[in-house]
Amino acid sequence: MVAMGTSFADLAWGRESAVYRVTGVLTVISGWFMTALVAFSVAAVFASIVHGGGAYGFAALLVVAGLILWRSHNKHKERVREQQEHQGIYNLKNVKNTGKTVAASFEQVGILLAEVRKSLDLSLGALFTNNIYGLQKEWDRIERIQRWTNILCANIFKAMRLLQKTDVHRSLRYAQTIRRLQKLSDGQRDVVNRSLVHVRNYHKGLLQDQIAELEEVRAILNDILLEAENLVSCGAPGDVSRLLAQDARLRTLAKKLNEKQTSRIQDGSSKTRLSILYYAIIGNSMMISKQNLRLLEIFNESFAEVTGDGVFDLD
Burial class (CB in 10 A: 0-12, 13-18, 19+), 175: exposed
- Residues of the chain within CATH 1.20.58.220 domain(s) are 96-307
Task: Could you please state the CATH topology (level 3) that the domain comprising 96-307 is classified under.
Answer: Methane Monooxygenase Hydroxylase; Chain G, domain 1 (1.20.58)
pLDDT at 26: 77
Give the per-residue pLDDT at 311.
37
pLDDT by residue for the chain (315 residues), tens only, comes to: 666 666 666 555 555 566 566 677 777 788 889 999 999 998 999 899 888 888 888 888 889 889 989 988 888 787 777 666 555 455 555 556 666 666 677 778 888 888 899 999 999 999 999 999 999 999 988 888 888 888 887 777 776 666 665 544 444 555 677 788 888 989 999 999 999 999 988 888 899 999 999 999 999 999 999 888 888 777 655 667 888 899 999 999 999 999 999 999 988 888 888 999 999 999 999 999 999 888 887 776 655 554 444 333 333
Burial of 226 from C-beta contacts in 10 A (0-12 / 13-18 / 19+): middle
Task: Give the amino acid at 291.
Answer: Q
User: How many Å apart are CA 295 and CA 314, to the nearest integer?
Assistant: 10
Closest-CA residue to 61 (of 34, 42, 76): 42
Whole-number pLDDT of residue 315: 33
Radius of gyration (Cα) for the chain, nearest Å? 27
d(CA 129, CA 206): 9
Task: Print burial letters for 128-154: b (CB count within 10 Å at least 16), e (below 16).
Answer: bebbbebbeebbebbeebeebbebbbe
